[in-house]
Amino acid sequence: MDKTSLIKCGFTSNEAKIYLTLLKAKIATATKIATLSKIHRRNVYDAINRLCEKGFISYVAKNNKKYYRAVNPQKIVDLFKEKLAFSESILPDLTKLYQKSEEKRTINIFEGPRGIKTFFDDLIREALAKDKQIYIIGATGKAFEKIPFFIERVYSEMIKKQKLHVHTLANPEVNFKKELIRELLKMNKFLILPNSISPTQIFLTGNMVGIMVWSDEPVVIQINDSEIAKGFHKYYKLMKSISKKNIINKTKKIL
């Protein structure tokens, strides 16, 4: 395992290297850790102190030397649970402040994988608060490439358990997993567009519209406005009527 996964969990590069080093070495002094991890000794001490504060490593003193060891990796999950519990405890007060400042029409731009995740979280919350319906025009499957773990969780938790209903109008070259396409077909919620109409994807739910471009650095424009949303919903219905003629032949090629 490399350090990348741990960095995604909030570790710095040096912290990830040291934690992985200790998992393998079981127990080691700071000098030994510096040698094994190939990190400058001064930086090793800084990272060790942070890991101790976070509870990811412990130490025992022997003969005036500190010997460090990694704690059970379950601590990573426990820490996120603690943060989640704390976040939920302050959420009511934050929500009140947010609602007071909410405007009739808002436009937000989100960039990069983290920004895209924020948009999807907003989209799901809006859908769950309204009619539990999400509409997609021009689906390509790029989300499964750019944010695989996040989007897999969304589909498994929300769609397969029928908490949300996702109506998909896909581009002909869509790169969804075949299992997912079959799942959506069973629910009569998957159609193929006649042609790739645009490099963008459109997401609709309630009064929210998302216009997304899956470039190297993905970006989405989020619009919250009832009148604009109504216009895009009409556009969805038009494209759906055109797509119905293509469903049989097109899906055979994909599956």
Residue 125 falls within a domain, yes or no? yes
Quick one: pLDDT at residue 109? 92
pLDDT tens track for 39-58: 988 899 999 999 998 888 98
Quick one: pLDDT at residue 154? 73
- Residues 116, 205 within the same domain: yes
Query: Final residue of a domain: which of 25, 50, 72?
Result: 72
pLDDT tens track for 82-136: 888 888 888 888 877 766 555 577 889 999 888 888 898 888 888 888 888 999 9
Q: What is the CATH number of the domain that holds 33?
A: 1.10.10.10
- What is the rounded CA–CA span in Å between residue 206 and residue 204? 7
- Residues 44, 112 within the same domain: no
Query: Final residue of a domain: which of 72, 96, 123?
Result: 72
Query: Final residue of a domain: which of 24, 56, 72?
Result: 72
Quick one: pLDDT at residue 101? 53
- Residues 123, 49 within the same domain: no
CB 218: neighbour CB atoms within 10 A?
20
- Residues 117, 220 within the same domain: yes
Nearest Cα neighbor of 175 from 151, 143, 204 is 143
pLDDT above 80: residue 66: yes
Contacts 24+ apart (CB under 8 A), 6-10: 9/76, 9/80
- What is the rounded CA–CA span in Å between residue 64 and residue 219? 54
- Residues 57, 179 within the same domain: no
- Residues 178, 250 within the same domain: yes
Q: Is the pTM of this model over 0.75?
A: no
Residue 29 falls within a domain, yes or no? yes
Residue 149 falls within a domain, yes or no? yes
pLDDT tens track for 199-230: 789 999 999 999 999 888 889 999 999 999 99
- Residues 18, 123 within the same domain: no
Quick one: pLDDT at residue 248? 46
More confident residue, 171 or 19: 19
- Domain count for the chain, please give it: 2
Q: What is the CATH number of the domain that holds 201?
A: 3.30.870.10
Residue 89 falls within a domain, yes or no? no
Residue 207 falls within a domain, yes or no? yes
- Residues 43, 113 within the same domain: no
- Residues 116, 58 within the same domain: no
Which residues fall within 8 angstroms of residue 195, CB to CB, at 6 or more apart?
172
pLDDT tens track for 161-186: 667 888 888 887 776 666 666 666 66
Quick one: pLDDT at residue 242? 82
- Residues 64, 127 within the same domain: no
> At residue 225, what is the residue type?
D
pLDDT band at 151 (very low <50, low <70, confident <90, very high): confident
Residue 241 falls within a domain, yes or no? yes
Residue 246 falls within a domain, yes or no? yes
- What is the rounded CA–CA span in Å between residue 109 and residue 230? 20
Quick one: pLDDT at residue 223? 93
Domain that holds residue 159: 104-254
